[in-house]
Amino acid sequence: MLLYIHIPFCDSKCYYCSFNSFINFHDEIPNYMNALKRQLLWDLKRFNVKKIETVFIGGGTPSCVKPKFYEEIFKTFLPYLEKNAEITAEANPNSASFEWLQDMKTLGVNRISFGVQSFNDKKLKALNRAHTAKEAVKAVENAEKTGIKNISIDIIYDFYLDSKDLLLKDVKTASVLPVNHLSAYELTIERGTLFSQTPNVKKESEEFGYFFRESVEAIGLKQYEVSNYGRYKSRHNLGYWQHKNYLGIGAGAVGFIDSFRYYPHTNIQKYIKEPLFAKTEKLTPNELLTEKIFLGLRSSVGVKKEILTPKMLQNARLLEKEGKLLCKNGTFYNKEYFLSDELALFIMG
Ligand SMILES: C[S@@+](CC[C@H](N)C(=O)[O-])C[C@H]1O[C@@H](n2cnc3c(N)ncnc32)[C@H](O)[C@@H]1O
Ligand code: SF4
């Protein structure tokens, strides 16, 4: 079992972001964290959880919340943790101080994922980030000083200010920092965001994706999913792509147990009132199979031969003949993650 915990608070709203995160509810943090504990206790019990392999505290901005508010949550899941479990917290460079990082490490966090987006101040400002490039560098260095070994950064590309030169400089900066993982997201224009009013801030260029990948791989971070590169592969991410079960705790989180998906309230105040409420959705065998094919081809997980129908297997064999897929030990592996969706659609006919 994997565990995802959602922290829906942010210090500022980035112009591209449609995640469930709010800038005006910080007063509710103590109540929210109590509600999280209630839901966690309930989900551990109702799904009869025996072991937790990985924990991911995501957001929003987990570093908006002081470590003392996490204590009860950690106490609650600690007895279920497997030895050497991966515990990741997302963090923003402006709020993840040395003390915050150190205290989170003391609680048990052993991986930090920083939302950096760029090391170019002009671009950061245009995205409405609450930090400078210098602060991002400092935050990564601070994380290393606390002794946290697994550090990741998120970068966004395909923004109108991007150029090969800018992206290369970002990769160069990353190469001298103690990061062993990088997530590179192509900017998407999401409904309801400020950028949806100026969609041409997105640069439509296939070139940057390929260029960026080449540059990131050249510094030793190998692609293992469409948007993820690393010397260390995030076990939590891999767990999602392997279709493992996960608890989804918090406002706007999503959980997945066997063939069900469940959704707690997204509204913070509703969630605080009713943390045990969740809408559920049952996935059909066909939907589950489709997901396994898409997730498997997007990542190094691959697709097991035995889950495919005879027609799908025939299509996969055609792709193998064309050199697009590699079949090893009964699993089809994608050789070009950027084409994963097209290949999945071809297999499904
Ligand atoms: C939900 S955010 C949480 C991280 C943290 N709050 C931060 O921004 O520093 C996770 C990552 O998703 C990416 N992201 C969010 N919205 C995006 C969009 N519209 N296009 C591309 N990437 C996006 C950003 O790179 C961000 O760091
Ligand atoms: S990208 Fe991160 S910091 Fe920015 S609004 Fe979204 S969750 Fe908050």
Residue 206: per-residue pLDDT: 83
In a domain, 251, yes or no: no
Instruction: Say whether both 98 and 180 belong to one domain.
Output: yes
> What is the C-alpha separation between 257 and 122, in angstroms, rounded?
43
What distance in angstroms lies between residue 194's CA and the mean position of ligand 2's atoms? Answer: 13
What distance in angstroms lies between residue 200's CA and the mean position of ligand 2's atoms? Answer: 20
pLDDT band at 295 (very low <50, low <70, confident <90, very high): very high
Strands (E), 130-259: 150-157, 181-186, 222-225, 228-230, 246-249, 255-257
Residue 265, SS3?
coil
What distance in angstroms lies between residue 17's CA and the mean position of ligand 1's atoms? Answer: 6
With a 6 Å cutoff on the Cβ, whether 187 touches ligand 1 is yes
Residue range 274-282: mean pLDDT, rounded: 98
Token digits for 76? Answer: 């609650």
> Do residues 100 and 80 lie in contact, with contact meaning Cβ atoms separated by under 8 Å?
no
Looking at the chain, the whole-number percentage of residues with pLDDT higher than 70 is 100
Ligand nearest to the CA of 57: 1
Residue 94: per-residue pLDDT: 95
- Burial class of residue 321, CB neighbours in 10 A (0-12, 13-18, 19+): exposed
Q: Hey, what amino acid is at 123?
A: K
User: Which residue is closest in CA terms to ligand 1's atom 13?
Assistant: 185
What distance in angstroms lies between residue 302's CA and the mean position of ligand 2's atoms? Answer: 30
Choose which residue among 63, 90, 100 to substitute to test ligand 1 binding: the one with the highest number of ligand atoms within 8 A of its C-beta.
90
Domain endpoint, select from 213, 241, 269:
241
Residue range 3-17: mean pLDDT, rounded: 97
Choose which residue among 10, 20, 25, 187 to substitute to test ligand 2 binding: the one with the highest number of ligand atoms within 8 A of its C-beta.
10
What distance in angstroms lies between residue 24's CA and the mean position of ligand 1's atoms? Answer: 19
Higher pLDDT, 230 or 206: 230
In a domain, 289, yes or no: no
Residue 31 sits in a domain of what CATH number? 3.20.20.70
Instruction: Say whether both 155 and 33 belong to one domain.
Output: yes
Give the position, in ligand 1's atom list, of the atom nearest the Cα of 193: 19
Instruction: Say whether both 304 and 234 belong to one domain.
Output: no
Q: What is the pLDDT of residues 87-142, one digit of tens each?
A: 999 999 999 999 999 999 999 999 999 999 999 999 999 999 999 999 999 999 99
What distance in angstroms lies between residue 306's CA and the mean position of ligand 1's atoms? Answer: 35
Does an H or E element contain 114, and which?
A: strand 111-117
For the beta carbon of residue 12, count every other beta carbon within 10 angstroms: 14
What distance in angstroms lies between residue 229's CA and the mean position of ligand 1's atoms? Answer: 16
Residue 191: per-residue pLDDT: 96
Token digits for 41? Answer: 């206790």
- Burial class of residue 79, CB neighbours in 10 A (0-12, 13-18, 19+): exposed
Residue 24: per-residue pLDDT: 92
Token digits for 222? Answer: 């190998």
In a domain, 254, yes or no: no
Nearest residue to 77 via CA among 101, 112, 113, 42: 42
> What is the C-alpha separation between 27 and 62, in angstroms, rounded?
15
337 pLDDT exceeds 90?
Answer: yes
> Do residues 206 and 219 lie in contact, with contact meaning Cβ atoms separated by under 8 Å?
no
Instruction: Say whether both 142 and 231 belong to one domain.
Output: yes
Domain endpoint, select from 241, 260, 276:
241
User: Which residue is closest in CA terms to ligand 2's atom 5?
Assistant: 13
Residue 204: per-residue pLDDT: 84
Give the position, in ligand 2's atom list, of the atom nearest the Cα of 13: 5
With a 6 Å cutoff on the Cβ, whether 22 touches ligand 1 is no
In a domain, 252, yes or no: no
Looking at the chain, the whole-number percentage of residues with pLDDT higher than 90 is 99
What letter does residue 266 receive in the DSSP assignment?
S
170 pLDDT exceeds 90?
Answer: yes
> What is the C-alpha separation between 271 and 60, in angstroms, rounded?
15
Instruction: Say whether both 303 and 237 belong to one domain.
Output: no
Instruction: Say whether both 64 and 213 belong to one domain.
Output: yes
40 pLDDT exceeds 90?
Answer: yes
250 pLDDT exceeds 90?
Answer: yes
With a 6 Å cutoff on the Cβ, whether 118 touches ligand 1 is no
85 pLDDT exceeds 90?
Answer: yes
Domain limits for position 349? 296-349
In a domain, 15, yes or no: yes
Does an H or E element contain 111, and which?
A: strand 111-117
